[in-house]
Amino acid sequence: MSQIQNLNFTAYGLKAALFDVYKERRAAVDPLIAKLAVIEKSTGASEDYPEADSAAAPQRWVEGTGIPKEAFGTGTMNVANLHYARGVEWLRSHILDDRTGGVGGQLMRRARETGQKFGDLRLRVLHQIITAATNADLLPSVPNAYDGSALFISTTRYGNAAGNIVTGGGITSVALMHVDIYALIKRFRDMLDTQSRFIWSGDDVDKGIMLLGGPSSEHILDLAVHAEVIQGSSAGVSNPIRKKNVETHILSDITDDDIFGFLTGVELKPLLIQEREALQETESDFSNSDDAKNKHLFSLNFFERLGFGVLAPMTAVKINN
């Protein structure tokens, strides 16, 4: 194989490996993302979204008078598209002199890992918003909802003085977890819109709830939600949560005991992802790069453009442990 063929083969192989792993990872995480976020296409640097406010309830009307109407909400949310990028770089001589395949193997491993991390990118950013974490590598700041507050707040929201956060009893027993899960369900049922009407019907809540926790919560969530009978002091009693449409999911990025609940059977989702440019690559070599010509540094660079926002906090309740 000629030197040029060897270099070109390296770039082609790295590109193929990265995209293969990226597609596999997206296939694994996209079902979870679909329960957390609405996906929108973007055609500009940013997009505006109207406020997800409630429609007015019907009221008695006297024929011959004007039908009562409600003005469309004026609130908007602007979501800017951000650039996400990472490159894989190597020296020309490292490839040409790689008789054992060690350098090529390391580059291939890095390419696969980069593909996996691009595949995880959307979920990592959603995690940052859900937990209100600081990570400037993903978001310059955590976005707020239309009301100017974060996804979860413990002050008045939707008719409740404690907002969409319930105080948990910890993760030490199934009994405490059941109390917290029922408190979470009740918080959804109690939410009021601007017309002082319940936002969710009983059917909306019963269609499905997903509980998202970290590794420290995995065992107690499994017992509290999935076990057929209750363990401990009430051993032998049927698990009442199994009659509910509740599912659990564990994210390793959640490093505390907090648990996050999301309605999964309604049209609205708590978060928003907008896609401006899909993952793509540029290649730097002798034909187009001064670094390649002057320093013999070759590279593959990958990038995509995405935006993120908080869409509908009424679909989310946090158990604060």
* CB atoms closer than 10 angstroms to residue 288: 10
Q: Which of 28-32, 38-42, 292-296 has the lowest mean pLDDT?
A: 292-296
CA R_g for the chain: 25
Q: Is residue 151 within 8 Å of residue 261, measured between CB atoms? A: no
Helix (H, G, I), strand (E, B) or coil at 213: strand
Helix axes 3-36, 102-131, angle to 10 degrees: 20
Q: What is the pLDDT of residues 159-207, one digit of tens each?
A: 999 999 999 999 999 999 999 999 999 999 999 998 888 999 889 999 9
Q: What is the pLDDT of residues 124-150, one digit of tens each?
A: 999 999 999 999 999 999 999 988 999
In which residue are the tokens 């994210």 written?
A: 251
Q: Is residue 139 within 8 Å of residue 125, measured between CB atoms? A: yes
Strand order in the sheet with 37-41: 37-41, 271-284, 297-310, 82-91
Sketch the domain layout of the chain as residue ranges.
3-53+79-141+271-313, 165-260
- CA separation for the pair 273, 310 (Å, rounded): 9
Question: CA torsion 288→291→293→295, rounded to 10°?
Answer: -160
Q: What is the pLDDT of residues 93-113, one digit of tens each?
A: 877 776 666 677 788 888 899
In which residue are the tokens 């500009």 written?
A: 44
Q: Which class does domain 3-53+79-141+271-313 fall in?
A: alpha beta
Residue 5 has pLDDT above 50, yes or no: no
- CA separation for the pair 146, 75 (Å, rounded): 7
